[in-house]
Structure 1
Amino acid sequence: MGIADAEAVRTAVVTFPNPSEEGVFTLRATGERMVRVEVLDLNGRTVWTRAGLEVHQATIDLSTHPGGVYAAQVHLADGSVALVRLVSTH
């Protein structure tokens, strides 16, 4: 994957609200469908995951987790992975 390809992957997923005061986020894929979403804390531990998806929009609920910064790995139908930073301020 080249630099231009990596840029395209980063812009394939829109997140809102971000930051989130409630810890609930909506991810919207602007092109390919999302097939798996995994959220990791800053220590690299998986704190939330959904697999078997075939959707353009998904909701992530981190309201039971401490506020902070998380990384979402969004696996798309074409095999690419978009990385999204999530900021929860609750």
Structure 2
Amino acid sequence: NIIDSNLYLQQCQINYSVFNKLAGLQQNQVVENKRLGSVLAHIQQQHEELEQQNKRNRSQKMPSRRAQKTAIQERNLNPVLDLEMSI
């Protein structure tokens, strides 16, 4: 019988309650997350400034984004490079 918050499964009584997903949500947490965009924009600006000054430490295992931009520019200037990569 589901109406009385009890469920019987193979003659065993199991108590249950409906989970309200919105009950744990507090309005102040939502407002704080809305302000996150300005914080992320500030961090991105700091990273770009450090990148321009070559002071940003990156992993040595992966190529830098600057190298990727250079490769894209070279391919745009010389489309033959794309053909060489596919062979």
- Bin of the TM-score, shorter chain as denominator length: under 0.3
Which has the larger share of strand? 1
Higher RCO (C-alpha under 8 Å, 6+ residues apart): 1
Which has the larger share of helix? 2
TM-score (norm 2): 0.25
